[in-house]
Amino acid sequence: MTISEKLQAILDEAGAGTIEQAEGRALYEALLRLTAGLLDGRPRLRGEKRLYYVSAEFLIGKLLSNNLINLGIRGEVEEALRKAGRSLAEIEEYEPEPALGNGGLGRLAACYLDSAATLGLPCDGVGLCYHYGLFRQRFEELKQREYPDVWRDRPGWLRETGVRFSVPFPDFSLEAVLYELPVSGYGGGCGALRLFDAATADGSIVKDGIGFDKADIARNITLFLYPDDSDEAGRLLRVYQQYFMVSAAAQLILKELKDAGYSPESLPAHAVIQINDTHPSLIIPELIRLLMTEGMEIGDAIEVVSETCAYTNHTILAEALEKWPVDSLEKAVPHLMPIIRELDARVQAASPEIAGKIAIIDGNDLVHMARMDIHYGFSVNGVAALHTRILEETELADFYALYPEKFNNKTNGITFRRWLMQANPRLSDFITGLIGDGWKRDGNFEKLADFAEDRAVLERLLAVKAENKRELAVYLAEKAGVEVSPDSIYDIQIKRMHQYKRQQMNALWVIWKYLEIKAGRLPKRPVTVLFGAKAAPAYTLAKDTIHLILCLQKLINGDPDVSPWLKVVMVENYNVTWAEKLIPACDISEQISLASKEASGTGNMKFMLNGAVTLGTLDGANVEISELVGEENIFLFGKKSEEVIRLYATEGYRSADFYDGDPEIERLVDFVISKQLIRIGDPENLARVYKDLVCKDWFMTLLDLREYIEVKERMLDAYEDRLHWAKMALLNIAHAGFFSSDRAVAQYNEEIWHLTPQKL
Ligand SMILES: *Cc1c(COP(=O)(O)O)cnc(C)c1O
């Protein structure tokens, strides 16, 4: 049977009519069934040793197109739909995006599952099946409002497995229900994303946006990712949630060990657990506890677990290095506390001279999750070369001195199947036409560099970008109701809203450009500045920054003098689906975090792969990008990480000095609370942004602002030499191969996991 016939058969069974006439939703459901059925026929990756990648987040995105690509039938399906006057893009609109993650670390986990399956590695993701994810973002009165992100109400890829575990809390226990999502590899086998929900979880308790009773643990535990922890009840809920995840995960791992006929002592030979950031860290004491209930001595259990667990650090931001009060842990997981105390006592006894600096439980009765991972895991990795160096030399120097052999770097990567083949079929086909399609497996684009002086190739590359920009303009008109000119420069900053990522600096540039245009100094070509970002619900300044950007959008787009030259668009509810639309159309990739603060970034890699040119600081993987493409093919600015680290150490940065000492900076910052903006927005929110910039500015916006404006101007000028710009874009693509998640995962496997790839 052809694909068309199979699809028609499924539609007939549902009484949904022909492919031509079926409603979009029915057609989506039919294609889902067809694809899921084909995935079921794929061999599940197994092996003597398997990886459990445990993570609070998996930002997997929609799966239909990705699965069609990995099954090798996307072309066929598209052709079948086209013949019936339908399109895959139309059908994908009906697929909900799973609300299982939040940002870079969750997206990384998703890319790694794709790569592991592609490389034939027996690997499963393990996490929680949130009902409503982080939240669904809406803009109301130019402010972010949070709502439940409903995604499980429509047919999707999720299946219940029938496997259940009981997770013990002090005076009750909760039943963990295991769901699975298939993870297809490109041409290869199948892994799984295994997600636990609580049998008692109940979304009906959510009222008034994302409000709910934080004490009703049985009903609330798996509703949201990262529930607000700004109060005591919220912190307790986080601990309950983390423990629920890792207890179920640990029980699953030990069950599978036993089912395969292996003894508990042999765990390290048959399983490796990658702890993705510190949210799953309690799996260490939980596994020790479970092994002890199997009769193991504590010393032996500690050894077994230490040889099984490896930890990935994703951040050096102090507020993100999790520390839980002993009190909270005593309330939520009292049965783990004796083990955590024992783990702490052992490390303190082993290094008494530095006990205060490396203790798991510090003098303020806070339990440091990362420290537990480092002491009791066999590997600690950072996620970009600079990040790992900063961990070793500064942030975790005491631990590096203790365990130099545990530390290693694994620079992040992205899957080219999703971020090029799926998101940007035009560019994908263009590249394949030039160098063949070996890159889909080996990630090697270097032959593209041979075309760097080839005028015809460069012109075609520009034409591909222009086509993508037109397509995005149509999509934006439809989805966001804004008109943007495809001839303008698309300047894009999409990532979580955080002060260290410095969206506020970009906003100050927007103000600068607005004032330039108002003063009659017109740019050579219009610029469209696109933002996409969610702010954590309790992160006031991040929400204020969203408000500022939305106010600027309203002011500028509504000003007939300015809007022909400058547009600002902030897309609502930024997610993977948006990223896939925006990135292929990008000219300028904004990667402007304060040096030393962005561990790696992966957005930077997606943009580079799609032929955007980076405007960035020497932070995270930008450092490696600039080494690979050469400084002539990237626009760098700002203070280096050494200087920034020195400024923190000496308290040498005072934003008021920059504000008072530079009338230009003063003018831009003052505009935040200008008559024009106050008239549009909320003075309270705008004043907070203003005040923070002048009085605190912890992430040193004003330090780099002048140079940012200068370099961005130079970049806009450079855009006018279209062929030279195309050459830069081409060389960026040509050197993107290193950032394939296949490379990253192969490195994890060679140096940490040691799994045997399965031949399929
Ligand atoms: C890649 C990605 C991120 C990470 O972006 P950074 O710029 O690296 O912070 C966040 N959200 C989504 C939806 C992504 O696709």
Output helix, strand, coil percentages for the chain, rounded to the nearest 5. Answer: 55, 15, 35
Q: Cβ neighbours of residue 403 under 8 Å, at least 6 residues apart?
A: 374, 380
Mutation probe of ligand 1 site: the residue of 602, 604, 605, 607 with most atoms within 8 A of C-beta: 602
Q: What is the dihedral of CA 574, 129, 55, 210, to 10 degrees?
A: 50
Long-range contacts from 678-687, C-beta under 8 angstroms, 24+ separation: 680/142, 680/551, 680/554, 680/555, 681/142, 681/547, 681/548, 681/550, 681/551, 682/141, 682/142, 682/143, 682/547, 685/143, 685/543, 685/544, 685/547, 685/548, 686/544, 686/547, 686/548, 686/551
Is 314 catalytic? The answer is yes
442 neighbors 721 (Cβ within 8 angstroms): no
- Judged by DSSP in three states, 701 sits in helix
**How far is C-alpha 632 from the geometric centre of its chain's CA atoms?**
28
Ramachandran angles phi, psi of 537, nearest 5°: -55, -30
Is 312 catalytic? The answer is no
Looking at residue 529, its amino acid is V
Burial class (CB in 10 A: 0-12, 13-18, 19+), 759: exposed
Is the predicted pLDDT of residue 188 greater than 90, yes or no? no
What is the CA(484)–ligand 1 centre distance, in A? 23
CA–CA dist 126, 142 (Å, integer): 37
What is the CA(108)–ligand 1 centre distance, in A? 9
CA–CA dist 195, 60 (Å, integer): 13
Burial class (CB in 10 A: 0-12, 13-18, 19+), 41: exposed
Mutation probe of ligand 1 site: the residue of 108, 422, 576, 577 with most atoms within 8 A of C-beta: 576
Instruction: Write down the catalytic residue from 35, 308, 602, 617.
Output: 602
The band of 741, judged by pLDDT with boundaries at 50, 70 and 90, is very high
Summarised one tens digit per residue, pLDDT across range 239-249 is 999 999 999 99
Is 496 catalytic? The answer is yes
Summarised one tens digit per residue, pLDDT across range 419-442 is 999 999 999 999 999 999 999 999
Nearest alpha carbon, ligand 1 atom 15: 576
Mutation probe of ligand 1 site: the residue of 97, 100, 107, 114 with most atoms within 8 A of C-beta: 107
Residue 591 CA: nearest ligand 1 atom is: 7
Instruction: Write down the catalytic residue from 42, 74, 314, 547.
Output: 314
What is the CA(407)–ligand 1 centre distance, in A? 25
Does domain 416-739 bear CATH number 3.40.50.2300?
Answer: no
What is the CA(528)–ligand 1 centre distance, in A? 20
Protein residues with CB under 6 Å of any ligand 1 atom: 59, 103-104, 107, 495, 575-576, 579, 601-603, 606
Nearest alpha carbon, ligand 1 atom 14: 576
CA–CA dist 74, 184 (Å, integer): 14
Is the predicted pLDDT of residue 135 greater than 80, yes or no? yes
Is the predicted pLDDT of residue 320 greater than 80, yes or no? no
Residue 600 CA: nearest ligand 1 atom is: 8
Instruction: Write down the catalytic residue from 219, 606, 712, 727.
Output: 606
Summarised one tens digit per residue, pLDDT across range 273-284 is 999 999 999 999
Q: pTM surpassing 0.75?
A: yes
Is 501 catalytic? The answer is yes
pLDDT for 317: 85
pLDDT for 274: 98
Residue 494 CA: nearest ligand 1 atom is: 7
Burial class (CB in 10 A: 0-12, 13-18, 19+), 342: middle
Instruction: Write down the catalytic residue from 136, 418, 495, 735.
Output: 495
734 neighbors 446 (Cβ within 8 angstroms): yes
Six-digit token string for 474: 């149509």
**What mean pLDDT is reported for the chain?**
97
Residue 620 CA: nearest ligand 1 atom is: 8
Q: Which of 517, 547, 481 is nearest to 680 (CA)?
A: 547
Query: What's the chain's length in residues?
Result: 760
Summarised one tens digit per residue, pLDDT across range 702-733 is 999 999 999 999 999 999 999 999 999 999 99
265 neighbors 287 (Cβ within 8 angstroms): no
Q: Cβ neighbours of residue 86 under 8 Å, at least 6 residues apart?
A: 19, 20, 27
What is the CA(423)–ligand 1 centre distance, in A? 14
Question: Concatenated DSSP letters for 543-575?
Answer: HHHHHHHHHHHHHHHT-TTTTTTEEEEEESS--
pLDDT for 187: 87
Mutation probe of ligand 1 site: the residue of 496, 588, 598, 619 with most atoms within 8 A of C-beta: 496
What is the CA(289)–ligand 1 centre distance, in A? 36
Q: Do 50-62+97-412+744-753 and 416-739 have matching folds?
A: yes
pLDDT for 710: 98
Q: Which of 278, 150, 158 is nearest to 226 (CA)?
A: 278
The band of 418, judged by pLDDT with boundaries at 50, 70 and 90, is very high
Looking at residue 431, its amino acid is I
For residue 114, give Cα distances in angstroms to 79, 118, 412. Answer: 25, 6, 14
The structure tokens 């900076």 sit at 665
Burial class (CB in 10 A: 0-12, 13-18, 19+), 306: middle
pLDDT for 25: 96
pLDDT for 236: 96
Six-digit token string for 27: 């057609």
CATH architecture of 50-62+97-412+744-753: 3-Layer(aba) Sandwich (3.40)
Nearest alpha carbon, ligand 1 atom 5: 603
Q: Cβ neighbours of residue 49 under 8 Å, at least 6 residues apart?
A: 122, 269, 270, 271, 272, 753, 754, 755, 756
What is the CA(318)–ligand 1 centre distance, in A? 21
Instruction: Write down the catalytic residue from 496, 502, 547, 712.
Output: 496
What is the CA(184)–ligand 1 centre distance, in A? 21
CA–CA dist 408, 402 (Å, integer): 14
The structure tokens 């809007």 sit at 563
The band of 318, judged by pLDDT with boundaries at 50, 70 and 90, is confident
Nearest alpha carbon, ligand 1 atom 10: 103
Instruction: Write down the catalytic residue from 42, 214, 501, 743.
Output: 501
Nearest alpha carbon, ligand 1 atom 9: 495
Domain residue ranges of the chain, discontinuous segments joined by +:
3-39, 50-62+97-412+744-753, 416-739
Nearest alpha carbon, ligand 1 atom 7: 603
